[in-house]
Chains A and B, each alone.
Chain A
Amino acid sequence: MWNYTEKMMEHFKNPRNVGEIEDPDAVGEVGNIVCGDALKLTLKIDKKTDVIMDAKFQTFGCASAIASSSVLTEMIKGKTVEEASKITNKDIADYLGGLPDEKMHCSVMGMEALEKAIANYRGTPVKKGTVEEEKIICKCFSVTDKKIIRAIKENSLKTVEEVTNFTKAGGGCGKCKPEIQKLLDEFWQKEATKGARAGVEHEHKKLTNLEKIELVKKVIEEEIRPHLKRDGGDIKLVDIDRDKVYVRFLGACVGCPGSGITLKGFLEKKLKEVVDENIEVEEVKE
């Protein structure tokens, strides 16, 4: 049994604004029966003020999908289109007092329907032309790389499981999980690089030698080794002498042409960012 909040159950039992507005000013439709949930949102908008006068929904889906749709209509009524466009899936989930992790995709569906409705109102063709650029990662639920990356970014997702909870990608046959992992790795590597650049600007407080050693160990253990292990490689901390960090590659990393990038572009950057900007990493060979 899911751990639903009282507020969520209340909206499921007494959903507000069920139905379809006749002659709507905006329509947003997402999902389908195969995916297990679908939402059709219709809006009446005052064209002079851009205020959403009325909103109605029809939802095929579980209790949390129905409740998410219901609160969405409550949240946007009376808001201007501009204000409504700022609503995120997190806002919807928060309004419900939270959703179980596995049900976060219900709030994402609400946000997407709203975006489509707004695009429909503004006459901006919804993602026209971009569909070709996007790549479908999850074939079971037709989830694109763009949608996944956006969910990772906006909700700071770290694992494939979290991505599945928010977007459904990987929740069917599961064959696309390695691809999702790749998107996660790429995204967070980019972020780390950004962070490293920003890190140079603010000064690190002076660490004791012991703190420095502990921190270097932690970074290697938690940030670097899991990535390498996934590809059958590994890395070992050999020694630390002032700002010099000596490491040895193991397994598949030995002789791997990519190990140089891992060493300087990834490990050294990360250590510069979180430990000391003067740190240099060197490889020790057997």
Chain B
Amino acid sequence: MNKKVVYADNNATTMAAPEVFEAMKPFLTDRYGNPSSMHTFGGNVAKHIDSARESVAKLIGANDPQEIIFTSCGTESDNTAIISTLRSYPEKRHIITTKVEHAAVLNLCKYLETVGYRVTYLNVNNEGMIDLNELKASIDPDTAIISIMYANNETGVVFPVDQIAEIARVRDVVFHTDGVQAAGKIPFKMTQLPVDLLALSGHKLHAPKGVGALYVRKGTKFTPFLIGGHQEHNRRGGTENVASIVGFGTACELAMKTFEEERTRIKGLRDKLENEILEKIPDARVNGTRENRLPNTTNIGFEFIEGEAILLMLDEKNIAASSGSACTSGSLSPSHVLQAMGIPFTFIQGSIRFSLSRYNDEEDVDQIIENLPKVIARLREISPYGK
């Protein structure tokens, strides 16, 4: 790649930080030992996993690093949380989740329905928010787990996880939250949040792909998902992905170092991007509430045109973003999130998500603002619905 890419698709994946890569290198070369080995060469590696565990715990404000289990990805963490809880409470056959979850939770729930579980999919309003009264009314003695995401990957809408957790705690139901998009972007402390299980993914916060983590609050019933060796204190079989775990730890350290200033800076960039787009381009609207939202995400619908065409034209200008349109979803149905929100189809098909990270700067935002209005205008010229 010669030309610099304006990468505005950080909710899909992020660049591994250079510091992360440096920290990983020794474990891909000289220090290849197995942390479970009796010899010093392998055994010493285990210390680095422990220190990564401490860093992850610190980022999410967990009391005890032993509450962190390393996994292979966010999906494994979500699957582990739900399956583990169902196995721990075999007599309970009801799950509560939302219509806007990530596929890692949504498709698992759909599968569980085929093997006899009952699933309640909570609605969202047109701002992307759930109704806590609907949640309360859905809980019954048969409910095994509530699984509701922390922040939505498509719109950035942040759910009131503290209130949901409190409802679950009072009703004595296990609560899992998919925190993949929230961790490293918004601050929270597990010591102050009565969440039982929280899923994390490394590559969303500048660690490499192929590593995730599951927070399991002390005292939460747990049954392993991957059954095998004694790794992760008998809670997840399989030789540890040492280098990536070390990288994950470093990424968490980096996130903590500049958390507040980066959060403010990125939010400033996002707001500038969003405001100028809305100002320069007619028939555009933000999808989802602008209040409780991740600081890095904006999802904007452009009427009369289709998202894939927008993305490919932006790609020509070396701008990387994503869309909720049908043509980009890999199916013929557009984004389930935007549909659940009741966004008009004319806006869903032309919806574009920009998601920023610490590696974006003002220049990137300016480049998008310069190019996007031309792309939208050109496609509206081609469209029979354009003006």
Contacts and interface: CB of A to CB of B under 8 A. Distances in A.
B371 interface: no
A171 B312 CA distance: 23
B332 A59 contact: no
- Interface core residue of A13, A59, A140, A171 (most chain B CB under 10 Å): A59
Contact of A38 (B309, B331, B333, B384): B384
Given A13-B316, A62-B325, A171 B331 contact: yes
Contacts of B309: 12, 61-63, 65-66
Contacts of B346: 33
A15 B349 contact: no
A171 B332 contact: yes
A58 B378 CA distance: 12
Contacts of A168: 332
Interface in A1-58: 9, 12-13, 15, 18, 29, 33-34, 36-40, 58
A164 B305 contact: no
Interface residues of B, number: 27
A12 B382 CA distance: 11
B382 A66 contact: yes
Interface in B342-387: 345-346, 349, 381-386
B306 A62 contact: yes
A140 B332 CA distance: 10
B385 A36 contact: no
A60 B332 contact: no
Contacts of B384: 29, 38-40, 58-60
Contact of A171 (B316, B333, B349, B385): B333
A140 B384 CA distance: 21
Contacts, number: 68
- Interface core residue of B313, B333, B384, B385 (most chain A CB under 10 Å): B384
A141 interface: yes
B345 A33 contact: yes
- Interface core residue of B309, B313, B332, B386 (most chain A CB under 10 Å): B332
Give the interface size bracket for A toward B. 20 to 34
Given A13-B316, A34-B345, A58 B382 contact: yes
A39 B305 CA distance: 12
Contacts of B305: 60
A136 to B, nearest CB: 16
A58 B384 CA distance: 5
A18 B306 contact: no
A36 B332 contact: yes
A172 interface: yes
A61 B328 CA distance: 11
Nearest to A15: B382
A164 B332 CA distance: 9
B316 A36 contact: no
- Interface core residue of A18, A33, A59, A168 (most chain B CB under 10 Å): A33
A171 B309 CA distance: 20
A38 B305 CA distance: 10
B332 A172 contact: yes
Contacts of B328: 62
A59 B383 contact: yes
A18 B332 contact: no
Contacts of A63: 308-309, 312
A29 B385 CA distance: 12
Nearest to A39: B384
B332 A38 contact: no
Interface in A125-169: 140-141, 164, 168
A60 B306 contact: yes
A37 B316 CA distance: 22
Contacts of B382: 15, 18, 58-59, 66
Interface of B: 304-309, 312-313, 316, 325-328, 330-334, 345-346, 349, 381-386
21 contacts: A13-B313, A13-B316, A33-B385, A36-B306, A36-B325, A36-B327, A36-B332, A36-B334, A36-B349, A39-B384, A60-B304, A60-B305, A60-B383, A60-B385, A62-B307, A62-B309, A63-B309, A141-B332, A168-B332, A171-B331, A171-B332
